[in-house]
């Protein structure tokens, strides 16, 4: 039975136990209406710091604040009482020390009532993951392409090719050994995803990492086709809502200008 066919709230432990059984479905989402839909169909909802680029128009995730994550975490949590809600820790809010990470993670959990936090980084974040998990904070790790360090790694490129392969595997193993309950593998080759998934006892959640992973995550606006000019190779558009929305807005504007909206159906006549 998949976790999504059961109405019990899904815990980090449940996700861990799905390894090698059911594929894990995760959606990165930021609002209550979408969370209500994902709550029915997905195992996890990730309130990703991609919210900064997707909803706030920022050029990268580096400008995202803890307050933004808390606001969207609260919105998602209001719509999700079954799917596991994970909130991303934004750039600059956890990297300095395990203590800084604990302060941010505990604040986000208290303010949003989420069940876990996510942070980016492999071997160099292992001490922090250990510090958090031994203090009762479930951690989703994130290795491979880590968008918060995109300036340091020179862009959004596939990770782990050639000699870099071992680095990504070491990162994945390090976050597992430090206590993460699952790990996002972003933009790595199919071979590497396969190897990491076989190596680890915790689930791998792929984004641009092939169907060899234990689960998949996509950003909701990407998979709904909200952006007409942005589609990385790994995104599949399950709908074309951006096009439909643009058409609807253009129609509204035309009808206001030619005074065909509001029509008789949309006005309040005087009571007879």
Segment lying near ligand KIV (by CB under 6 A), choices 48-56, 172-180, 242-250, 257-265: 48-56
191 is catalytic: no
Active-site residue (options: 111, 186, 246, 251) = 186
The region that residue 244 occupies, defined by phi over 0 for left and psi between -120 and 50 for alpha, beta otherwise, is alpha
Asked if residue 68 binds ligand KIV (CB under 6 A), the reply is no
Asked if residue 88 binds ligand KIV (CB under 6 A), the reply is yes
Asked if residue 207 binds ligand KIV (CB under 6 A), the reply is yes
Asked if residue 175 binds ligand KIV (CB under 6 A), the reply is no
DSSP letter assigned to residue 95: S
Tokens standing for residue 205: 């959640």
Which of 43, 49, 195, 221 is in the footprint of ligand KIV by CB under 6 A?
49
Asked if residue 38 binds ligand KIV (CB under 6 A), the reply is no
Tokens standing for residue 130: 């250990």
Segment lying near ligand KIV (by CB under 6 A), choices 43-51, 69-77, 128-136, 234-242: 43-51
Which of 219, 220, 224, 226 is in the footprint of ligand KIV by CB under 6 A?
219
- Shortest Cβ 248–ligand KIV spacing (Å): 26
Asked if residue 221 binds ligand KIV (CB under 6 A), the reply is no
Q: Say if residues 131 and 101 touch (Cβ distance below 8 Å).
A: yes
Q: Catalogue the E-assigned strands of 112-248.
A: 116-118, 139-144, 182-186, 204-207, 215-219
Tokens standing for residue 26: 């995760």
- Shortest Cβ 119–ligand KIV spacing (Å): 10
Q: Say if residues 166 and 189 touch (Cβ distance below 8 Å).
A: no
Which of 50, 128, 159, 204 is in the footprint of ligand KIV by CB under 6 A?
50
- Shortest Cβ 222–ligand KIV spacing (Å): 9
Segment lying near ligand KIV (by CB under 6 A), choices 44-52, 100-108, 167-175, 193-201: 44-52
Q: How many residues bind ligand KIV (CB under 6 A)?
A: 11
Place of tokens 């990165």: 28
Size of the chain, expressed as the number of residues it contains: 272
Residue 77 sits at φ, ψ, to 5 deg, of -60, -30
Coil, strand or helix at 68: helix
| Cβ distance to ligand KIV smaller for residue 218 or 253 | 218
Closest CA to 119 of 175, 164, 76: 175
Buried/exposed 250-265: b ≥16 CB within 10 Å, e otherwise: eeeeeeeeeeeeeeee
Binding site for ligand KIV (CB under 6 A): 28, 46, 48-50, 88, 142, 184, 207, 217, 219
Catalytic residues: 186
């Amino acid at each position: 039975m998949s976790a999504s066919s059961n109405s019990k709230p899904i815990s980090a432990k449940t996700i861990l136990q799905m390894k090698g059984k059911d594929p894990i479905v995760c959606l990165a989402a930021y609002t209550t209406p979408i969370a209500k839909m994902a709550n029915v169909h997905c195992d996890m909802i990730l309130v990703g710091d991609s919210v900064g680029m997707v909803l706030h128009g920022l050029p990268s995730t580096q400008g995202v604040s803890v307050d933004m994550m808390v606001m969207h975490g609260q919105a998602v949590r209001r719509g999700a009482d079954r799917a596991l809600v994970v909130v991303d820790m934004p750039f600059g809010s956890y990297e300095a020390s395990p203590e800084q990470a604990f302060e941010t993670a505990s604040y986000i959990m208290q303010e949003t009532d989420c069940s876990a936090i996510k942070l980016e980084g492999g071997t160099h974040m292992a001490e922090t993951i250990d510090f958090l998990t031994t203090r009762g904070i479930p951690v989703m790790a994130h290795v491979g392409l880590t968008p918060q360090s995109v300036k340091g790694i020179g862009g959004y490129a596939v990770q782990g090719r050639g000699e870099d392969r071992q680095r990504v595997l070491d990162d994945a193993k390090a976050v597992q050994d430090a206590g993460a309950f699952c790990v996002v593998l972003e933009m790595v080759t199919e071979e590497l995803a396969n190897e990491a998934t076989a190596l680890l006892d915790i689930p791998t959640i792929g984004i641009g990492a092939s169907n060899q992973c234990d689960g998949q995550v996509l950003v909701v606006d990407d998979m709904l086709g909200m952006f007409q000019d942005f589609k990385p190779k790994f995104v599949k558009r399950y709908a074309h809502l951006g096009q439909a929305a643009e058409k609807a807005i253009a129609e509204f504007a035309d009808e206001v200008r030619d005074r065909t909206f509001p029509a008789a159906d949309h006005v309040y006549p005087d009571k007879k």
